[in-house]
Amino acid sequence: MKMAARDEDAARSSRPRRVAPAVKSGRGVRFQKTITVNRPVQEVFSFWRHLENLPRFMKFVRAVTSNGGNITHWVVTTNGTKLEWDAETIEARPNEVLSWQSLPAADVDNAGSIVFRPAPGKRGTVVNVNLKYAPTGGKAAAKLAKLFGKDAEAVMEEDLFRFKSLIETGEIPTTEGQPHGGV
């Protein structure tokens, strides 16, 4: 598996680039990771197809609401800063691929694609995630840039682990709220 890389690194890489071209080259942060989840491809695709599910496992995504068509509205909060944008679903080929990109005037210019394929040996579904983010300017966006710059890889990887646990078990492992000795 390959983690997020800065654009210049990505440009040197011979890996195929799957992200929709919403984010100008030379800007932003890319994230790429592949995991296998022990659920049928239909179920996994359907889960992602309903982007409203994303806040259930994405730490900083508060809400994704659909207009019933191809447009979704995203709300992300981090350290009390709220960022919003609209995104358009570009491709939704059942059980194969899902991609979207943000519309102009987004706080964060971003694009993503998820490629699904059945895992060999009936081991569920191989999920390949490609995301790209680039803040468009302003204080709020700069904050997010910081978050999705240095920590982008970590946040997104953790989100994917949470996704896998959620779809396989119905819950996300946590220790938040457990007892602890006074320090």
Partner 1 sequence: MKALCWFGKHDVRVEKVPDPKILNPHDAIVKITTSAICGSDLHLYDGLIPRMEKGDILGHEFMGEVVETGPEVKNLKAGDRVVVPFTMSCGQCFYCQRGLWSLCDNTNPSARESEKMNGYVCAGLYGYSHLYGGYAGGQAQYARVPFANVGPIKIPKGIPDEKAIFLSDIFPTGYMAAENCDIKGGDTIAVWGCGPVGQFAIRSAFLLGAERVIAIDDVPERLEMAREGGAETITADGDAVFEELKEMTGGMGPDGCIDAVGMEAHGATMDARMDRVKQAMKLSMDRPTVLRQALRSCRKGGTVSVPGVYGGFVDKIPFGLVVAKALTIRSGQTHVQRYLKPLLEKIEKNEIDPSFVITHRLALDNAPLGYKAFLKKADKCIKIVLKPHALQQTE
Among residues 84 and 158, whose Cβ is nearest to partner 1?
158
What's the rounded Cα separation, in Å, for the pair 26 and 4?
A: 14
Q: For partner 1, how many residues bind (rule: CB under 8 A)?
A: 26
Question: Per rule CB under 8 A, is residue 169 in the interface with partner 1?
Answer: yes
Binding mask 13-42 for partner 1 (x = CB under 8 A): -----------------------x-x----
**Shortest distance (Å) from residue 118 CB to partner 1:** 14
With CB under 8 A as the contact rule, the residue among 6, 24, 123, 150 that binds partner 1 is 123
SS3 at position 87: strand
For residue 135 the two structure tokens come to 């803040």
Question: Per rule CB under 8 A, is residue 60 in the interface with partner 1?
Answer: no
**C-beta neighbour count of 58 within 10 angstroms:** 19
Among residues 14 and 175, whose Cβ is nearest to partner 1?
175
Question: Per rule CB under 8 A, is residue 120 in the interface with partner 1?
Answer: no
Options 54-62, 66-74, 133-141, 173-181: segment touching partner 1 (CB under 8 A): 173-181
Give Dmax (Cα) for the chain: 53
Question: Per rule CB under 8 A, is residue 172 in the interface with partner 1?
Answer: yes
Among residues 104 and 179, whose Cβ is nearest to partner 1?
179
What's the rounded Cα separation, in Å, for the pair 6 and 137?
A: 18
For residue 97 the two structure tokens come to 């691929």
What's the rounded Cα separation, in Å, for the pair 40 and 20?
A: 26
Amino acid identity of residue 54, one-letter, is L
The residues, ordered by sequence, that sit 6+ positions from 182 with a Cβ below 8 Å of its Cβ are none
Options 22-30, 40-48, 93-101, 169-177: segment touching partner 1 (CB under 8 A): 169-177
With CB under 8 A as the contact rule, the residue among 84, 86, 88, 158 that binds partner 1 is 158
Q: What is the DSSP string of 132-147?
A: EEEE-SSHHHHHHHHH
Residue 76, beta-bridge partner list: 61, 83
Residues forming contacts to partner 1 in the complex (CB under 8 A) are 36, 38, 123-124, 154, 157-158, 161, 164-165, 168-183
